[in-house]
Amino acid sequence: MKRRRFVIDGGKVFLSSLCIPNFVSANLQHIGVEIEQITFGSDHHFFGYIGQSLTIPWNKNGNRLVCLSSSFHDHLPGKGEVASVNLINLDRRIKGRYLVEKLDESQGWNPQQGTMFYWNPHRPNHQFFFNDRDPKSGVIFTVLYDIDKRQRVKTFQFGHRSFGNSGVCPLGKYFLAINYARMARLRPVTGYKDSYDWTYGVPAPKDDGIAIVNIETGEKEILISFEQMAKGLEQNGFDVKDRNLFINHTLWSRDGQWIYFFVRAGWKSDKDGREGLNAACSIKVDGSQFIAGHQHIGGHPEWFNGTQIIGSSEKQQVIYDILQRKIIGTIGSPHIFPKPEGDISVSPDGKWLVNGYNNKSGANFYSIMNLKTGAWVKTPSFVTGDYKKDLRIDPAPRWNHNNNQILVSGLDRNKIRQLFVISIDYKSV
């Protein structure tokens, strides 16, 4: 198993086998970074986009990891094009490689977001969620899979409405659900192609929006509808009349009390020439305190402490408070985070921030910062390939439960997408 190890001094990365930095102060922090490729073969392996809101690929014990695999990643999957749902056994090896088991298949996936894997907070070592699609009707639904039983133990289906999991509450009990068929029509990169959309022709339907699903009972309610979103945004001066609204990124706060999401339309622009709508909103999980149109903080915002969100503004990594409705602080510097609008993720203990970003040549880098001490490291580059238009794969980093490993994807020497683990060794020297 090939591993590469790096150490940092003052933000500069060195190959430890070639150059050991000379530390001149006992107060300096040492960060070692080890990179390990954990999947191999001719199939493309990936987890999915979302790294925010405590989306953790590992089970609680840290000995299992879920992923998808597919024979292709050069087009959006349509009807009948399945991805394998796999379990990576991190405590079992065959010929030096981790054992990867195929558990199931899914038609509810895309290269950007995967199938929205989440481990069940109530049974975090052996149950996880993923989305699927009925092969006949095209309706999207959510699956709860049990590793010990090696079977689906529950499905969450709602008639002809294509609601799929878009985020599990970190505390359990509920998950959010959105219409992935509507997204396939209005922003294909995040939707499931060839799925059934019952809302076709309705700009702001009252029976679609963000749903909340009780995991135990399977009951679904509309937390906030597109009709309600449109009214709230219009009252706050947004141009929403007769616009086909859709949702991206329903993010649970770490305490399970708030949802942060984007209401969008037209994306870059509408056919009638109107500028695309991209409004950040929030709502309490009981359906109260809907705030329509926060100050825009760019990139892919991530929940921090309480009602604080980390995002970007004026080329800086910033902290925004949704109740104060203003930026209350900054993190790092443009040197540490050259693209603060990149894909970010805060570790479960809230002490680390990782920012994944790419350059013009298509290589991905990760800046990893300790939020308590300010120590940081930039990883070597990962080759990611060239993806355009509706086919997009972002460099989303995802933490483990122990706050010392990050899962990322990249291309191997054969240009096959594989999974890599960045391990962090941190201490004072």
252 located within any domain: yes
pLDDT of residue 270: 66
284 located within any domain: yes
Residue whose token pair is 């900054």: 330
386 located within any domain: no
List Cβ<8 Å contacts ≥24 apart for 268-277.
270/243, 274/239, 274/243, 275/239, 277/233, 277/238, 277/239, 277/240, 277/243, 277/245
423 Cβ neighbours under 8 A, 6+ residues apart: 33, 34, 35, 36, 404, 405
175 located within any domain: yes
Amino acid, single-letter form, for residue 240: V
pLDDT of residue 145: 98
37 located within any domain: no
200 located within any domain: yes
> What is the mean pLDDT, run by run of 10 residues, along the chain of 429 residues?
40 26 39 94 91 89 97 92 98 96 97 94 98 97 98 98 97 97 93 96 97 98 98 96 93 96 81 84 97 92 96 96 97 95 94 90 89 93 80 87 96 94 81
366 located within any domain: no
Asked whether 153 and 167 are in contact (CB, 8 A), the reply is no
Which pairing describes strands 291-292 and 326-331: parallel, antiparallel, or unpaired?
unpaired
**Closest to 105 in 3D by CA, of 92, 120, 115:** 115
Asked whether 5 and 390 are in contact (CB, 8 A), the reply is no
Asked whether 67 and 47 are in contact (CB, 8 A), the reply is yes
CATH number of the domain to which 172 belongs: 2.120.10
Domain of 99? 61-294
User: Order of strands, edge to edge, in the sheet holding 64-70?
Assistant: 44-46, 64-70, 83-94, 97-106
List Cβ<8 Å contacts ≥24 apart for 77-80.
77/107, 77/109, 77/110, 77/111, 77/192, 77/193, 78/193, 78/194, 79/107, 79/135, 79/138, 79/193, 79/194, 80/107, 80/135
Round to whole Å and give the CA distance between 308 and 326: 10
Count CB-CB contacts under 10 A for residue 154.
Answer: 15
pLDDT of residue 384: 81
pLDDT of residue 387: 73
Round to whole Å and give the CA distance between 130 and 155: 10
| Model confidence, pTM | 0.92
**Closest to 344 in 3D by CA, of 112, 53, 121:** 53
Domains contained in the chain, number: 1
210 located within any domain: yes
